[in-house]
Amino acid sequence: MVADSEKIVLSGTQRQLTGSRRERLRSLAMIGLSASMVTSIILVASGLFLLLLTSSLSWLLGHVGTENATWSEKLYQLIFTGTELGYGVSAIFPAVLGTLALVILMTAFVAPLGVATALYLTEYARPTWYTKLIRISITNLAGVPAIIYGVFGLGFFVYGIGGQVDQLFFGDQLPNPTFGTPGLLWAALTMALLNLPVVIVAVTEGLDALPGDLREASVALGATHGETVFKAVLPAAMPSVFTGLILATARAAGEVAPLLLVGAVKFAPALPFSDRLPFIELEQKFMHVGFQLFDAVLFNRIGPGDVGWIASVALILVLLISILNLFAIAFRAVILGRQEPANPF
């Protein structure tokens, strides 16, 4: 009897030991896995970047076929005149401006809408099953293919709202559409819609992560619920708002599929910015670097000799997105620096 019970005790301890050992092994494995994943992501990213860089440099500096322009001439033509060399791409400069205009407009739409929705869901709506369903649905919306948003934008914004606007305000110009045709405004709204779930999810997660006693602190100082939300909670969640906008910016600058339907073109008649109010040509079609790349690859006869200039366009797109992200990250770092002594990334 005694021996039996001792045995049970022993095996119990043994099981505990093996259990903790297995856990330790598992956590080691997780660390190894995540470390190797991070390393491979960095390797792939830098490899991609190096590939783009080398092929674009070899095109700029080398001599392909009969052309004998210098690297600066090639660069100038690629950026400002485009097709003169016979490359199947129009000038990059107006496309960069078009991308910027799209990103700025998109941010102006998505930031207030996304933040307001996230605030409503976390700070105002009661946590019922219905609220939970909405939150899950928003998360799922982030995974809907971009082209679907393009189709929706064309039907809802361009023909739906745009058509109505034309009938109400630009009736004398019909049947030539003013707003009832793809343009910068509709593209920006479509992109805002595409990115809305991303921003909402990022901000909601930021709000959920705030300590509950932050709200108590504010209320105990005589703040109303609204004052607490807008003066204590939202400022504390600003870093997560910027995280959402960083993700949205990258997507708006890089996503091409919806733009095929709602406003990007190969040649725009004018730049998207003007000297007249509101300084941005809302109803005009615009150029976009991602679209340029898409168009160049799809509608040209491409051979191995073309990799160079295509890589250059791609490199410009990557740099543009990086610069936009750096701006947002810098903003977030400034805000975080005011909040706490933390790493901006």
Residues 245-284 that bind another protein (CB under 8 A): none
- Pairwise CA distance, residues 319 & 341, whole Å: 29
**Is 209 an interacting residue with respect to another protein (CB under 8 A)?**
no
Rg (CA), the chain: 27
**Is 10 an interacting residue with respect to another protein (CB under 8 A)?**
no
**Is 217 an interacting residue with respect to another protein (CB under 8 A)?**
yes
**Is 220 an interacting residue with respect to another protein (CB under 8 A)?**
yes
**Is 124 an interacting residue with respect to another protein (CB under 8 A)?**
no
**Is 125 an interacting residue with respect to another protein (CB under 8 A)?**
no
Q: Which of 268, 302, 308 is nearest to 285 (CA)?
A: 268
Pair 315, 52: CB distance under 8 Å: yes
Question: Which CB atom, from 211 or from 269, has the smaller least distance to another protein?
Answer: 211
Question: Which CB atom, from 73 or from 123, has the smaller least distance to another protein?
Answer: 123
Using the rule CB under 8 A, which residue among 147, 219, 260, 333 binds another protein?
219
Residues in Cβ contact with 93 at an 8 Å cutoff, skipping those fewer than 6 apart = 79, 80
Side chain identity at residue 258, one-letter code: P
Q: Which two tokens stand for residue 40?
A: 């491979």
Distance of closest approach, residue 214 Cβ to another protein, in angstroms: 6
- Pairwise CA distance, residues 335 & 117, whole Å: 22
Pair 241, 115: CB distance under 8 Å: yes
Distance of closest approach, residue 220 Cβ to another protein, in angstroms: 4
- Pairwise CA distance, residues 151 & 199, whole Å: 21
**Is 132 an interacting residue with respect to another protein (CB under 8 A)?**
no
Pair 57, 281: CB distance under 8 Å: no
Interface pattern 325-344 for another protein (x via CB under 8 A):
------------xxxxx---
**Is 38 an interacting residue with respect to another protein (CB under 8 A)?**
no
Residues in Cβ contact with 21 at an 8 Å cutoff, skipping those fewer than 6 apart = none
Distance of closest approach, residue 221 Cβ to another protein, in angstroms: 4
Q: Mutual orientation of helices 307-339 and 289-298 as an angle, nearest 10°?
A: 160
Using the rule CB under 8 A, which residue among 79, 85, 142, 223 binds another protein?
223
Using the rule CB under 8 A, which residue among 73, 123, 205, 227 binds another protein?
227
Residues that bind another protein (CB under 8 A): 211, 213-224, 227, 231-232, 235-236, 337-341
